[in-house]
Structure 1
Amino acid sequence: MNIGDVLKPTPALWILHIDPILLRDGVATTLLTIQYNLFLGTLAKFIRQTEDLSQLTEDLLTFKTLGQFCLTELGRGLDIYNMRTTATRLDSGDFDLHTPTQQDANLAALSICQLQLYSYIVARYSQRRHVASPYSGEPVPIISFPTQKLPLMYVIANSYFFNAFYQKVVNLFMDKTLDPRLRRGVTTCVKAVLMMHSQNANIALSDRYGAQGLFEYNQMSTLFNKVRGIAIAGDILGFIADLLTMKYEIPPQTDPSSLLAKHELHFFKKASIKSHRMTQWKPS
């Protein structure tokens, strides 16, 4: 990985974000993504203009230097576009961080591979665990039962679908002709959908893992908590609010005549009307 991969960014950076190794340590993954995406992603734009950043960049790429910084606000979470904290450079070279109100105070600061890991763990367990067949009395693996197999196949299919979906969204995000708000909105949309499916998959497969599904060493419960932590971030709520108030629109459906596209159109129309009524309502 080099600074060019971050600046463009190249497929190397996108592949990094769906590498299953990230599931081994959620904290390390958070630090990695902040370092590469936020810090180096910002710094990379100024490399050619400022030569003295070259050594710093190399140190950041190899984690000899950490670029973590305060990113969230109590009143806005991860809603970066509406944050009110300002940083003013002083003559001394230091920075004055200013938070207008208490709600502006800062707090220090993946799902495709999780679907893959869920299905792998439960598939291996289902192959190893045997029970007596109700027909022959002989031991058979529980994966031979439809109630065990079908939910597993559903999660595996989802992992393939979302991998393709991820590639599609990367292309949209890389399209600099699009409104930056739209590009941010598309990625947030994917995050929301992935979080929902990942949590549902975890519960569905954990129920078929027996009591072992609750043990920490099997990772199912810890992965579920990691997903919940990612999903709690306020960027999803901000995205929904922007859509309902029609600040911008996400790209149109590739097939407007499909049932899914019609359902989406009806859903947003209904939600937008309800949102408008709520904003017009005043207590008596």
Structure 2
Amino acid sequence: MSVTERLRTSELFKSSNASHSSASWQAERAYLRASAIAEAYALSLDDVLSLTPGFWDMHADPILCWDGAATTILIIQYNLTIGTVGRLAENQNREDLLPLLDDLLRFRTIGQFCLTEVGHGLDAVNLETTATLLEDGTFDLHTPTPAAAKFMPPMVPVLGRPCVAVVFAQLIVGKEKRGIRPFLVNINDGRHMCSGITTKLLPHRNGSFPVNHSITSFRHVRLPRGALLADDIEKSPSEHFDFLMRIWRVSVGTLSLSLVAMSTLKIASHIAFFYSKRRTVGGPENSRIPILSFRTQQIPVFTAVARAYVLDAFSRRAIQLFMDDSLDIRVRHGIATCFKAATLHCAQESAILLSERCGAQGLFGHNQIVTQYSEMRGIAIAEGDILVLSIRLATELILGRYSMPHSDNSRSLLSKHEVGIIAECQSLTTQYGHRSEEFATRVLPKCQFLVETIGHRIAYDAAVAEGVPTSLIAIYEADVIKKDLAWFVEDGCISRATFDDMEVDAINKASHQMEEWVNGMKTRTYVTAPITSADRWDDFVAGLETFSSVRRERRPLFRASL
């Protein structure tokens, strides 16, 4: 029995329409759903630490699109908390942590990861939370200012299950700052907060499944010596590098969490395709014409399908490169950044376009697309904001400190585009210097686009190597070219008229097989949108609360099973 089939038997996954239930109940249910997914995959500690195929498969499973809150909780638990504690336990032979890790793997204990602060988001290296070594060998964990409170991790007691967190704090020994270290901290027992710890529940994010995000502060919390999840307390000569290594699981999350966006792209394109096929408008001689027959509908729908196939190939290439220990760790992180930048841009853009192409129906959460878009906005920021990650990567590539793997198809238009954009930025840097105001003005705004450009080229190479249908690759290529058509024209690669012919030809060739490719994504199981079929729509309408001149009739709420 597959993972999805096992989850289908759970009542937890019988409904994705949670709009009529309380936010607190939805938030609690998210933990139960996360636990159910974890139980279905049954990952071991080695799976998490060694990043086995099972680890990546879990993140790529479309079931994670079912409830964005459950996905958030699951990924914090497995990648950030277990990944961080497990790695340090392994490196330091901390057998005392193994029982806790077992509880975390089975969700008997809830794990959190506290890095970001209210006043220190992407500049976490400057965080203010302190952990002062006391004379008896214990530590005093303290939040010195409101800006130092930990932001976002859901620390509210829930389900009666204890919660622990990896808390990053500035280690202070004898009034000297020794650098940022991770500490293991008991947060609550599932019902009450631990002494000295205060958490304030944030309002739920609009448009997404509710998570108990909160702001947490510590008031002189006494920690035992074993709470320190680091091998020493001495000041490191390479403090910044050590900090990056201690938060390595954030880099893993940059790639793994982006896999969820892949699934949302597949589901959204499936919904939009079948809606566009069944939705008709009046034609000549009282005929009815599916709106999918119009090119204005075909381009965004077919492009979304092409993106799903090409980026799926990219995901496998990205994982392969990320797992390659022979590569510079900066290159491996760079691959994750390129994948996140390209994939999230495509997924978010398609979600907006497809939602619009579903008309008024696209505005409703029960049709999934708009809700998934809200979840992707969170993914775009989580585990590193795309813009900041891109600025860091692009700057180092422009300065020649390292480079991304070279293209397998150096004569392709997307490869030429990558080379040209990098050369353009390097020319500006040579002219103005990378620490100048001109660099900040002229080059930094191009960084995310540069990284996306590299990502699209790697995606193209991966799709060609995997044998993705040439029509889908052609649609993807045309879509990328369209975003910067002026460059291709200026460089003499293509004319506007030639590009128009290229796009028309790609769409025409793909039209006859598009339904086969949509079904080939195998996402039907995860689609509950009523607009995808007449039967679904009839069931949905029949389940709505009804008002008439005779009586008010309250019917059961819409329930869609996997």
Matched, 1:114 2:268: no
SS at structure 1 position matched to 2:141 = strand
Corresponding residue of 1:237: 387
CA 1:83 to 1:174, structure 2 compared with 1: closer, same or farther past 3 Å? farther
Letter of the 1:68 counterpart: Q
Distance 1:28 1:173 in 2: 26
Which stretch has the larger CA shift, 115-124 or 249-258? Answer: 249-258
Q: Following TM superposition, by how much is the alpha carbon of 1:24 offset from its aligned partner in structure 2, in angstroms?
A: 2.2
Select 1:7's aligned residue among 43, 49, 58: 49
Q: CA deviation at 1:79?
A: 5.7
Q: Aligned partners of 2:131, 2:64: CA distance in 1, in Å? A: 32
2:72 corresponds to which letter in structure 1? T
Superposed counterparts of 1:178-193, under 5 Å: 178-193=327-342
Contact 1:20 1:113 in 2 (8 A): yes
Q: Matched residues in 2 for 1:74 and 1:269: separation?
A: 38
**Aligned pair in 2 of structure 1 residues 83, 252: CA closer, same or farther (>3 Å)?**
farther
**Residue 411 of structure 2 corresponds to residue 257 of structure 1:** yes
Q: Secondary structure at the match of 1:69?
A: strand
Are 1:58 and 2:95 counterparts?
no
User: 1:244 touches 1:272 (CA, 8 Å); kept in 2?
Assistant: no
Please report how far the alpha carbon of residue 39 of structure 1 lies from its aligned counterpart in structure 2 after TM superposition.
1.4
Match of 2:359 in 1: 210
Q: For residues 131 and 104 of structure 1, what CA distance do their matches in structure 2 show?
A: 57
Decide whether the 8 Å contact of 2:118 with 2:151 is kept in 1: yes
Which is further off, 123-132 or 204-213? 123-132
Aligned to 2:111: 67
Unaligned stretches of 5+ residues in structure 2: 1-42, 154-259, 439-562
Q: Quick one: distance in 2 between partners of 1:258 and 1:129?
A: 38
CA shift, 1:139, in A, is 2.8
| Cα-to-partner distance string for 1:224-263 (whole Å, 9 max, x where unaligned) | 2222232245542333333224344322222333322221
Q: Is the deviation greater in 48-57 or in 258-267?
A: 48-57
Structure 2 CA distance for aligned equivalents of residues 89 and 273 of structure 1: 50
Which SS does the other structure have where 1:176 is aligned? coil
Q: In structure 1, how many angstroms separate the alpha carbons of the residues matched to 2:411 and 2:133?
A: 54
RMSD: 2.8
Equivalences, count:
279
Does structure 1 residue 201 correspond to structure 2 residue 350? yes
Shift of 1:32: 1.1
Paired amino acid for 2:317: K
1:270 positional shift: 2.0
**Is 2:120–2:127's contact at 8 Å kept on the other side of the alignment?**
no
SS in 2 for 1:279: coil
- Quick one: which amino acid aligns to residue 65 of structure 2? L
Q: Secondary structure at the match of 1:72?
A: coil
Mapped to 1, the partners of 2:140 and 2:63 lie a distance apart of: 37
Query: How far apart in 1 are the matches of 2:104 and 2:316?
Result: 27
Q: Is the 8 A contact 2:261 2:376 kept in 1?
A: yes
Please give the alpha-carbon distance, in whole angstroms, between the structure 2 residues aligned to 1:131 and 1:252.
Answer: 48
Deviates more, 1:18-27 or 1:245-254: 245-254
Match of 1:279 among 431, 435, 454: 435
Deviations 1:21-47 (A, max 9, x none): 212222221121111111111222224
Take 1:8 and 1:239, find their aligned partners in 2: how far apart are those partners?
Answer: 24
Q: 1:76 Cα shift?
A: 5.2
Q: Does 1:177 align with 2:326?
A: yes
Q: Give the counterpart letter for 1:261 in structure 2.
A: S
Pairwise CA distance, 1:2: 1.4
Greater strand fraction, Structure 1 or Structure 2: 2
Q: How far apart are the structure 2 equivalents of 1:88 and 1:178? A: 37
CA distance in 1, matches of 2:105, 2:133: 25
What SS is found at the alignment partner of 1:252?
Answer: coil
User: What secondary structure does 2:407 align onto?
Assistant: coil
Aligned to 1:19: 61
Partners of 1:56 and 1:130 in 2: CA distance: 57
Amino acid at match of 1:162: L
Q: Which residue of 1 aligns with 2:82?
A: 40
Larger Rg: 2
CA shift in 2, pair 1:95/1:16, >3 Å:
farther
> Residue 56 of structure 2 aligns to which amino acid in structure 1?
W
Q: Which amino acid aligns with 2:415?
A: A
When residues 44 and 89 of structure 1 are mapped into structure 2, their CA distance, relative to the original with a 3 A threshold, is farther
Distance 1:93 1:27 in 2: 36
In the alignment, what sits opposite 2:277? 127
- Which protein has the bigger helix share? 1
CA distance in 1, matches of 2:365, 2:312: 27
Partner Cα distance (2:381, 2:117) in 1 = 14
Can you give the 5+ residue segments of structure 1 that lack an aligned partner in the other structure? none
Whole-angstrom CA distance in 2 between matches of 1:75 and 1:251: 36
Q: Please, which of 124, 138, 141 is the counterpart of residue 96 of structure 1?
A: 141
> How high is the TM-score relative to the length of structure 1?
0.85
> Structure 1 55/24 Cα, relative in aligned 2: closer, same or farther at 3 Å?
same
Matched to 1:251, the amino acid is: P
User: Which residue identity is paired with 2:271?
Assistant: I
2:291·2:297 contact (CA, 8 Å) conserved in 1?
yes
Structure 2 residue matching 1:67: 3-state secondary structure: strand
Work out whether residues 71 and 78 of structure 1, in 8 Å CA contact, stay in contact via their aligned partners in 2: no
Deviation larger for 169-178 or 119-128:
119-128
The C-alpha deviation readout for 1:195-238, integer Å capped at 9, x for no partner, is 11112111221121011111122122222222223224554233
